Structure 1
């Protein structure tokens, strides 16, 4: 891999790690998808950083579980779907959207929720 592309992958990988860490504290921002992106970017640019991420005591287990079994822990599934529902209810209460806008937002949240629910549970 040429140096500019490697540096781009490293920079984007660290940006994804930053988003993932923010997602730990912000309920509307997912964590694992950003970690998966970071691991993929690090795999291309730095196997050492990919290994660090996969072996990290806090961040690594969900990544390894997804890589090995394409599974999501039951606790993570429950939390993700509950936060989606909570966010939708908050959105409806706070903004009082039209029925059509509420339907679009509900559909946008329903698709990822269905994806999460239909993955194997670990």
Structure 2
């Protein structure tokens, strides 16, 4: 029963991640991080597949090993939260809801920018700086 629960979560998170890969404004990596977490609890084959995925595997491994977030992902997430906050401003939602969602997104953005960046990315950025001198 436990295995079924974890595998169900994996499927839900992978589907949400797939939708996020298609729809702008919906995250992909967050759902894949959650899918990998759930897979590690009860679906080792799926966990290995996610961690070795050609596009998302490196990001998932970096998150699992060090809790790092690539700078590009930080910029994209922050931009999408800013766009969402602006759109929220023009909705008919009650003011309390607008304030709550915007403050929540701001706190998430602050937390996100406090996360370290992958070490290999810092080395790549240093190499680019050296090459431009």
**Same fold (TM > 0.5):** yes
Residue in 2 that maps onto 1:24:
21
Residue 7 to residue 91, structure 1, CA distance change in 2 (3 Å):
same
User: What secondary structure is seen at the aligned counterpart in 1 of 2:106?
Assistant: helix
| 2:7 counterpart residue number | 10
Q: Specify which of 31, 54, 57 is matched with residue 57 of structure 1.
A: 54
From 10, 21, 42, the equivalent of 1:45 is 42
Shift of 1:99: 4.5
| Cα distance in 2 for residues equivalent to 1:13 and 1:87 | 27
Matching of residues 49-88 of structure 1 within 5 Å: 49-88=46-85
Match of 2:39, SS?
A: helix
Is residue 104 of structure 2 the alignment partner of residue 111 of structure 1?
no
Q: TM-score, normalised by structure 2?
A: 0.79
Unpaired runs of 5+ residues, structure 2, are 119-133
Post-superposition Cα deviations, 1:42-75, rounded to whole Å, max 9, x if no partner, equal: 1121211110110010121110111122111111
Q: TM-score, with normalisation over the residues of structure 1?
A: 0.86
Q: 1:24 to 1:98 in 2, by over 3 A?
A: same
Report the count of equivalent residues.
118
Q: Which has the higher contact order (CA 8 A, sep 6+)?
A: 1
1:62-101 CA-partner distances (Å, limit 9, x unpaired):
10111122111111100100110011112213x1555444
1:86-121 CA-partner distances (Å, limit 9, x unpaired): 11112213x155544432221121121111111012
